[in-house]
Amino acid sequence: MSHPTTMLLTARDIHKRFGALVVLEGVDFSVAHDEAVGIVGPNGAGKTTLLSILSGAQPSSSGAVAYRERDVTTLDSAARCRLGIVRTHQIPRPFGGMTVFENVFVAAANGRCKRAEAYDRVVDALALCGMSEVANRRAETLGLLDRKRLELARALGADPGLLLLDEIGGGLTDAEASELVEAIQELRRRRIAVVWIEHIVHILLQVVDRLVCMDAGRVIADGEPRAVMADPAVVEAYLGGDVHGAA
């Protein structure tokens, strides 16, 4: 974080406690414009909690978050979403009783744009995620891969500048996860910055420029992805805990 002004997002000295439980302990994290950053680490390392603090879904106990050089620390997730910080969830959360199209439209029609523009954005997001053919299906009838795709399409519908992905590959076969990789690579071509938490590391390595490894609420390695995976502290963190498909 030596040049904060060149960063799209900067989180400084983030601490998070749940009562006596310390979950994040002085985390510094940043994302450059157009960058894709992967976050790995054993279960319970604090990855999802960090993502929630970046998205505004949870407040930090202390520390600050800036986006496009604006302090967003006190803004909630809806306000950050309007600025362009958009997240997906580990467990997809489609609106039941609505079609795939309607689900994405709700995200797209967030007050920042006209109806026709929102409509175009939905069509584009569904095409990018390979969902045009199921646009009129009820969301609750979708299988896991399509639910994951819908989660991504809804995030895209919200017109992100920074997309925060929480284990979007989880539960998918390698072939299914590869399809998502293609969609995410297209986002990169569109210059959307990405932060991606993923246990399936070989999928992550196809996309990210930089890898951050967390363990027990701290960042223990940050840098070129293959160098991070070979870092003795990272190997130890995994071997000392649950490798959970990290190989």
Ligand X SMILES: Nc1ncnc2c1ncn2[C@@H]1O[C@H](COP(=O)(O)OP(=O)(O)OP(=O)(O)O)[C@@H](O)[C@H]1O
Beginning with the edge strand found earlier in the chain, give each strand of the sheet holding 36-40 in spatial order. 85-87, 162-166, 193-197, 36-40, 210-215, 218-223
Cβ proximity to ligand X: between 23 and 183 the closer is: 23
Stretch 28-57: interaction string toward ligand X, x if CB under 6 A = -------------x-xxxxxxx--------
Cβ proximity to ligand X: between 20 and 116 the closer is: 20
Q: How far apart are CA 41 and CA 23, in angstroms?
A: 13
CB of 155 to ligand X, least distance (A): 18
Query: Phi/psi zone of residue 223: left (φ > 0), alpha (ψ -120 to 50 degrees), beta?
Result: left
Judged by CB under 6 A, does residue 213 bind ligand X? no
How many residues of this chain interact with ligand X, rule: CB under 6 A? Answer: 11
Cβ proximity to ligand X: between 51 and 156 the closer is: 51
Q: What are phi and psi of 6, to 5 degrees?
A: -90, -5
CB of 49 to ligand X, least distance (A): 3
Q: How far apart are CA 28 and CA 23, in angstroms?
A: 14
Contacts (CB under 6 A) with ligand X, residues 117-146: none
Structural Rg of the chain based on CA atoms: 18
Cβ proximity to ligand X: between 159 and 167 the closer is: 167
Neighbours of 33 (CB within 10 A): 13
Residue of 5, 20, 21, 143 that binds ligand X (CB under 6 A): 21
Residues 169, 151, 141: CA angle, nearest 5 degrees: 100
Judged by CB under 6 A, does residue 169 bind ligand X? no
Cβ proximity to ligand X: between 153 and 197 the closer is: 197
Residues 144, 148, 152: CA angle, nearest 5 degrees: 165
Cβ proximity to ligand X: between 46 and 169 the closer is: 46
Q: How far apart are CA 135 and CA 132, in angstroms?
A: 5
Judged by CB under 6 A, does residue 23 bind ligand X? yes
CB of 231 to ligand X, least distance (A): 18
Judged by CB under 6 A, does residue 18 bind ligand X? yes
**Local structure of residue 227 (DSSP, 8 states):** H
CB of 125 to ligand X, least distance (A): 26
Residue numbers at the binding site for ligand X (CB under 6 A): 18, 21, 23, 41, 43-49
